[in-house]
Amino acid sequence: MAEIVIKNLRKEFGSFTAVQSSSFKIEDGEFFMLLGPSGCGKTTTLRMIAGLELPTSGEIYIDGQEVGQKPASQRDIAFVFQMFALYPHMNVRKNISYPLVSQGMPKAQVKEKVAEVARILGIEDILNSSVSGLSGGDRQRVALGRAIVRDPKCFLMDEPLGALDAEFREHMAEELRALHDRMGATTVYVTHDQLEAMQMGDKIVVMNHGVIEQFGAPQDIYDKPATMFVADFIGSPPMNFLRFHESLDVGATTAHLHGEAVEIPALREAFDGDMVYGIRPEHIRLDDAAGYRGEVIATEYLGTTQIVTLSTSNGEVKARISSDQIAKVGDKVGLSFNGTTATLFDNQSGRAIRSALNEGVLSHG
Amino acid sequence: MSGFSVTEPSRGQKWIAGILVVTYALVTLLPLLWIIATGFKSPSDAIAYPPKAVFEPTLEGYVNLFTTRTRQTPDYLAENPPETWYDEIVRKYDMVVVGPSRYGERFLNSIIIGFGSTFLSVFLGTLAAYAFSRYKVPLKDDLLFFILSTRMMPPIAVAIPIFLMFRSLGLSDTHAGMILLYTAVNLSLAVWLLKGFIDEIPREYEEAALIDGYTRFQAFYKVVLPQAATGIASTAIFCLIFAWNEYAFAVLLTSGTAQTAPPFIPTIIGVGGQDWPAVAAGATLFLLPVMVFTILLRKHLLRGITFGAVRK
Ligand SMILES: Nc1ncnc2c1ncn2[C@@H]1O[C@H](COP(=O)(O)OP(=O)(O)OP(=O)(O)O)[C@@H](O)[C@H]1O
Ligand SMILES: [Mg+2]
């Protein structure tokens, strides 16, 4: 098992830069998520860690050893492909034992290892079947089997659940996480599904256009986004952005949205100019006493909670409130914000302004 | 099954389809049957008019194909009774077998040159196609177009330059020369066909093998090749059919040592009148290797033809 350190990793394809300059650290035994929208460079980053793509510049350390320019076969890692890439001309047993055969392991030992892996994954009964007839879930398990059979230093998975249907994804996600917890192997997992990343990951890197936007624990990334992109990409519905203009000093604890004072976490840096007040939907309450007003324009019932969309003088705002509370389209209501959870962003650059809430996260991010 | 079905053809449709297939098969197979039958006819039956569908089969054609004979005086024939069954057959015409004909050698030449050039085309074609499919090759598109362009004119258009080239290089009438020539002609087809097949094989298979600890060449050999088997088989059949049947260059460039069967078969006619049964026998035997080869690879070939259609 291993620790992976990425330093200033960069990848260019001709004149196009797929990965700008990534640096992050994956602790030993961590379930690490590479999250971002399509085309942001997640796969490219993962393939560079695997050795399937050579970096243009930068370093990759696996267990303290620089492997950036080494071929894949010398890195002792396992890779699970999105389409599984099971060898179609071999049966399940052969597929799983293939990596062992390449190491020249004796036959009896291979057999034993394969049996053990099959037991862990619950695929003992299909060992002798051809891979072409398998269901998506079984293919996934065989692909995992091929990865874990070798006891590699780490597992790299590129959207391993992407080919499964929604219902089954959740089940496999749990199975994967349970498997990881049992084996404690360092795992790097690529996904564009923020929910999957939040549910499964110990730590998340959020990428956009080849740039790392934020790197940290799921809870920190959700509560203390470092950029507007992260705040918007994570959470459903995403964080509300209310634009305003003001001059705030260090230590300020109130801001003014259209003349109404709203609470903010104590600022750690002064800012003068266009800002964005970012607040999660669940931190907004409908409160007739509140001075900041809005009009209900839509409601969406979600069981115990509902999403209420309001039109305000700073734009549209979504609030997640209890379903017990009555909100009808056309109602004019007051909005109160749980200001200590709010994040202020620089409207121009999109970066979060340092405050009592996020300063710990931003400084190491 | 009852009622109307979109996918299941009706009884009537099945009948029509059956009749069409049988008719088509008869039309295409008739000349073949004719050749095979003629090989077993006597020279007079072969040219009988109206043609004979029923006749007494004889091996005369095959004996004439494989032997050289001379006419002898009645005295000689009386003194030397036939020693073998084939000698006995030719005695009818006051002839004796004096030795084997060249057909065996020419047939062997065809096998060496046909299979040799097929192997070489497919071998080089697979490597080139793999490189074109997987690596960044400078000027890839131009190179591929250039390779294809070698097929744009009929090869025989360059017969004279090739003839002169072969003569000055000492390649005329050699096995190596003919293998080279047929390989050169077939290679473009092989590269293009095989590139299509290899493009269809997801790279992930090789990448998985690389990660599993195999070298690039092992990944190619153990993962790509088995997957490309279909394409390799179909390409090999196309190459063999061309090399096997090629006539014009064979006439032009070979005359003895390396002469293949196609230019040789017509020369049989000259031996003692118009010996159609021997020609037919030569043609019949000549058909066999390609037929056997195709039947052996039939499973792959069928999959090869439908390959692009079945995969998404
Ligand atoms: N071999 C390549 N040559 C040229 N451009 C490439 C190559 N591989 C990837 N790219 C480009 O690099 C960018 C990042 O690709 P990458 O596959 O890493 O994205 P991703 O984050 O994995 O996206 P997705 O969620 O769609 O898989 C894309 O714009 C892609 O077109
Ligand atoms: Mg990807």
At A174-216, the pLDDT tens digits run: 888 988 988 888 999 999 999 999 999 999 999 999 999 999 9
Q: How far apart are CA A55 and CA A19, in angstroms?
A: 9
The tokens describing B98, both together, are 């004096």
pLDDT of residue B281: 93
The domain spans of chain A are 4-223, 237-346
* Nearest chain B CA: its distance from A324 CA (Å): 50
The domain spans of chain B are 104-267
Under an 8 A CB cutoff, do A52 and B213 touch? no
Residues 6+ apart with CB under 8 A from A273: A245, A247, A346, A347, A348
pLDDT of residue A122: 87
Helix, strand, or coil here: B137?
coil
pLDDT of residue A7: 95
User: What distance lies between CA A175 and its chain's CA centroid?
Assistant: 18
pLDDT of residue A365: 45
Amino acid in the structure at residue B222: K
Question: What is the CATH code of the structural domain delimited by B104-267?
Answer: 1.10.3720.10
Q: Which is more confident, A289 or B7?
A: A289
- The answer to whether residues A86 and A143 touch, using CB atoms and an 8 Å cutoff, is yes
Q: Which is more confident, B269 or A6?
A: A6
In the 8-state DSSP scheme, what is residue A9?
E
Q: Euclidean distance between the first and final Cα of chain B, in Å? A: 31
**In the structure, what pLDDT confidence band is assigned to residue A241 with cuts at 50, 70 and 90?**
very high
pLDDT of residue B312: 32
Kindly tell me if the per-residue pLDDT of A163 is higher than 80.
no
pTM: 0.80
Under an 8 A CB cutoff, do B204 and A83 touch? yes
DSSP secondary structure letters along B15-39: HHHHHHHHHHHHHHHHHHHHHHHHH
pLDDT of residue B271: 53
pLDDT of residue B15: 92
pLDDT mean over A115-130: 90
Beta-strand relationship, A305-312 and A293-301: antiparallel
Q: How far apart are CA A136 and CA A84, in angstroms?
A: 9
Q: How far apart are CA A13 and CA A9, in angstroms?
A: 14
- The answer to whether residues B263 and B251 touch, using CB atoms and an 8 Å cutoff, is yes
CATH architecture of A237-346: Beta Barrel (2.40)
Q: How far apart are CA B12 and CA A227, in angstroms?
A: 71
The CB of A39 under 6 Å from ligand 1? The reply is yes
Radius of gyration of the CA atoms of chain A, in A: 24
The tokens describing B277, both together, are 């049964």
pLDDT of residue B5: 62
The number of beta carbons lying within 10 Å of the beta carbon of residue A61 is 16
**What ipTM was estimated for this complex?**
0.80
- Name every chain B residue with its beta carbon within 8 A of the beta carbon of A52: 207, 210-211
Amino acid in the structure at residue B109: N
Amino acid in the structure at residue B271: V
pLDDT of residue B35: 92
Q: Which long-range contacts does A295-298 make (Cβ < 8 Å, 24+ apart)?
A: A295/A330, A295/A331, A295/A332, A295/A333, A296/A327, A296/A328, A296/A329, A296/A330, A296/A331, A296/A332, A296/A333, A297/A329, A298/A329
pLDDT of residue B108: 95
The tokens describing B77, both together, are 């024939």
Pick B213's closest partner by Cβ from A50, A81, A102. Answer: A102
- Name every chain A residue with its beta carbon within 8 A of the beta carbon of B226: 89
Residues in chain B: 312
Ligand 1: residue whose CA is nearest its atom 6: A13
Kindly tell me if the per-residue pLDDT of A233 is higher than 90.
yes
Q: How far apart are CA A56 and CA B260, in angstroms?
A: 56
Mean pLDDT by 10 residues, chain B (312 residues): 65 91 93 92 87 88 89 86 86 86 93 96 96 92 92 86 94 95 94 93 90 89 89 92 93 91 85 80 93 86 52 34
Chain B residue with Cα closest to A154: B211
Under an 8 A CB cutoff, do B211 and A78 touch? yes
pLDDT of residue B311: 37
Question: What is the CATH code of the structural domain delimited by A4-223?
Answer: 3.40.50.300
Going across the sheet that includes A77-80, the strands are A77-80, A154-158, A186-191, A31-35, A203-208, A211-216
- The answer to whether residues A344 and A326 touch, using CB atoms and an 8 Å cutoff, is no
Phi, psi of A267, rounded to the nearest 5 degrees: -70, 145
**Closest ligand 1 atom number to CA of residue A11:** 12
